[in-house]
Amino acid sequence: STYPSLIGQCWQAHPGSVCSKGSCGKNGTRDQFQEELVIRPLHSGDIYASFQFRTLWDIDFLQERQKVSHYRLFPKSLGQVLSKFSVRELHISFTQGFWRTMQWGQPFIPSPPGAELWVWFHDTVSDVDGNWKELTNVLSGIFCASLNFIDLTNTVQPSASFKPLGLGNATDHRFLRYATLPREIVCTENLTPWKKLLPCGSKAGLSVLLKSEKLFHSSFHSQAVHIRPVCQDEQCTSKAWELRQTLNVVFDLYTSSQGKKEWSLFKMFSRTLTEACPLATSSKIYVDITDNPELFELNPVTPLLSQAVVLGDRRTYSVFDLTRAETFGQLCSLNLLLRWKGDSDMLRPLLHAERYVAGFGLQTGEIHTVIYNNHPYRAFPVLLMDSVPWYLQLYIHTLTVTSKSRDNKPSYIHYQPAKDRHRPHLLEMLIQLPPHSMTEVTVQFERALLKWTEYTPDPNHGFYVGSSVVSALVPSMVAMNTNFTQDQPLFSSFVPVKEESSYFVRVYTEPLLVNLPTPDFSMPYNVICLTCTVVAVGYGSFYNLLTRTFQVDEPSLPLEKRLANLIRRIRGVPLLA
Partner 1 sequence: MYSLSLHFFYPWIYLKKRIFTFCTIETGQFFSSGHTNNWAVLVCTSRFWFNYRHVANTLSVYRSVKRLGIPDSHIVLMLADDMACNYRNPKPATVFSHKNMELNVYGDDVEVDYRGYEVTVENFLRVLTGRLPPSTPRSKRLLSDDRSNILIYLTGHGGNGFLKFQDSEEISNMELADAFEQMWQKRRYNELLFIIDTCQGASMYERFYSPNLMALASSQVGEDSLSHQPDLAIGVHLMDKYTFYLLEFLEEVHPASQANMNDLFKVCPQSQCVSTPGHRTDLFQRNPGSVLITDFFGSVRKVEITKDTINLTSSVKPPIQSIAEHHVLQFVADVSSQNPKQKDWHPPDGFILGLWTLILLVFFQTYGIKHLKHIF
The reply on whether position 80 binds partner 1 by CB under 8 A is: no
Candidates 4-12, 14-22, 205-213, 557-565: pick the segment binding partner 1 (CB under 8 A).
205-213
CA–CA separation, 318 vs 299, rounded Å? 11
Note whether 106 and 505 are within 8 A (CB): yes
In 252-350, beta strands by DSSP E: 262-264, 280-288, 296-299, 305-310, 313-321, 337-340
Note whether 305 and 339 are within 8 A (CB): no
Secondary structure of 261-273 in HEC code, one letter for each residue:
CEEEHHHHHCCCE
The reply on whether position 148 binds partner 1 by CB under 8 A is: yes
**Residue 458 C-beta: closest distance to partner 1, Å:** 6
Of 24, 44, 98, 134, the one binding partner 1 by CB under 8 A:
134
Residue 91: phi, psi to the nearest 5? -130, 120
The reply on whether position 215 binds partner 1 by CB under 8 A is: yes
Contact characters 533-572, partner 1, x per CB under 8 A: ----------------------------------------
Residue count of the chain:
577
**Residue 137 C-beta: closest distance to partner 1, Å:** 4
The reply on whether position 96 binds partner 1 by CB under 8 A is: yes
User: Is 458 or 553 the residue whose CB approaches partner 1 more closely?
Assistant: 458
CA 286, 292, 293, 298 torsion-angle sign: negative
The reply on whether position 522 binds partner 1 by CB under 8 A is: no
What are the C-alpha distances in Å from 256 to residues 9, 267, 341, 493?
A: 33, 7, 18, 30
**Residue 215 C-beta: closest distance to partner 1, Å:** 7
Name the residue among 75, 78, 483, 73 with its Cα closest to residue 281. 73
The reply on whether position 189 binds partner 1 by CB under 8 A is: yes
Note whether 287 and 317 are within 8 A (CB): yes
Note whether 78 and 117 are within 8 A (CB): no
Of 20, 192, 307, 501, the one binding partner 1 by CB under 8 A:
192
Candidates 40-48, 53-61, 135-143, 167-175: pick the segment binding partner 1 (CB under 8 A).
135-143
> Residue 134's CB: how many other CB atoms inside 10 A?
14
SS3 state of residue 444:
strand
User: Is 134 or 366 the residue whose CB approaches partner 1 more closely?
Assistant: 134
Any idea what DSSP says for residue 83? H
**Residue 141 C-beta: closest distance to partner 1, Å:** 2
CA–CA separation, 532 vs 346, rounded Å? 69
CA–CA separation, 469 vs 428, rounded Å? 9
Of 8, 25, 141, 517, the one binding partner 1 by CB under 8 A:
141
SS3 state of residue 22:
coil
The DSSP element (H or E) to which 104 belongs, if any, is: helix 101-104
The reply on whether position 187 binds partner 1 by CB under 8 A is: yes
Of 5, 9, 66, 188, the one binding partner 1 by CB under 8 A:
188
The reply on whether position 217 binds partner 1 by CB under 8 A is: yes
Name the residue among 42, 393, 374 with its Cα closest to residue 219. 42
Candidates 140-148, 315-323, 337-345, 482-490: pick the segment binding partner 1 (CB under 8 A).
140-148
Of 7, 125, 144, 253, the one binding partner 1 by CB under 8 A:
144
Of 18, 185, 295, 362, the one binding partner 1 by CB under 8 A:
185
Q: Is it true that the peptide bond before 199 is cis, omega within 30 degrees of 0? A: no
User: Is 130 or 540 the residue whose CB approaches partner 1 more closely?
Assistant: 130
**Residue 523 C-beta: closest distance to partner 1, Å:** 14
The reply on whether position 140 binds partner 1 by CB under 8 A is: yes
User: Is 97 or 381 the residue whose CB approaches partner 1 more closely?
Assistant: 97
**Residue 306 C-beta: closest distance to partner 1, Å:** 33
Of 3, 26, 65, 213, the one binding partner 1 by CB under 8 A:
213
User: Is 286 or 464 the residue whose CB approaches partner 1 more closely?
Assistant: 464
The reply on whether position 299 binds partner 1 by CB under 8 A is: no
Amino acid at residue number 226: H
Candidates 162-170, 320-328, 356-364, 450-458: pick the segment binding partner 1 (CB under 8 A).
450-458
Note whether 149 and 81 are within 8 A (CB): no
The reply on whether position 98 binds partner 1 by CB under 8 A is: no
Of 376, 457, 555, 558, the one binding partner 1 by CB under 8 A:
457
Across the beta sheet with 114-121, the strand order is: 155-156, 176-181, 114-121, 87-96, 220-231, 239-251, 47-57, 31-41, 280-288, 313-321, 305-310
Note whether 339 and 262 are within 8 A (CB): yes
User: Is 96 or 283 the residue whose CB approaches partner 1 more closely?
Assistant: 96
Of 71, 98, 149, 380, the one binding partner 1 by CB under 8 A:
149
The reply on whether position 186 binds partner 1 by CB under 8 A is: yes
Residue 514: phi, psi to the nearest 5? -120, 145
CA–CA separation, 282 vs 279, rounded Å? 9
The reply on whether position 5 binds partner 1 by CB under 8 A is: no
The count of residues interacting with partner 1 (CB under 8 A) is 31
| Rg of the chain (C-alpha set) | 34
User: Please, which of residues 462-521 interact with partner 1 by CB under 8 A?
Assistant: 521
Q: State the residues that interact with partner 1 by CB under 8 A.
A: 96, 133-134, 137-138, 140-142, 144-146, 148-149, 183, 185-189, 192-193, 211-213, 215-217, 456-458, 521
